[in-house]
Amino acid sequence: RGNIRLYSQRDIERLRLIQRLMDDLGVNLAGVEVILNMTERIKELEQEVARLRARLAEYERQST
């Protein structure tokens, strides 16, 4: 396909977020990296909390 680049919707959203952080909020690239890493970690922790809640609910159902 020559020099045509194909980006996923997730890639485009990530690039837009980076642009907003830099242009609108004045965050530098190092700050953007920290924000992106923290955002990803928060998502991972939220998923873990959801899994633990489901396990707890199952345990409580079995205990009653």
**pLDDT 10s per residue in the chain (64 long)?**
578 889 999 999 999 999 999 999 999 999 999 999 999 999 999 999 999 999 999 999 999 8
Confirm whether 30 is domain-assigned.
yes
CA atoms of 46 and 30, how far apart (whole Å): 24
Confirm whether 47 is domain-assigned.
yes
Confirm whether 2 is domain-assigned.
no
Confirm whether 21 is domain-assigned.
yes
* DSSP code, position 4: -
The tally of domains found in the chain comes to 1
Return the closest-CA partner of residue 24 out of 11, 35, 38, 8.
Answer: 35
Confidence at residue 1, expressed as pLDDT on a 0 to 100 scale: 56
Confirm whether 1 is domain-assigned.
no
Which residues constitute the domain of residue 19? 9-63
* DSSP code, position 24: T
Confirm whether 4 is domain-assigned.
no
Question: Residue 53 corresponds to which amino acid?
Answer: R
Confirm whether 31 is domain-assigned.
yes
Confirm whether 59 is domain-assigned.
yes
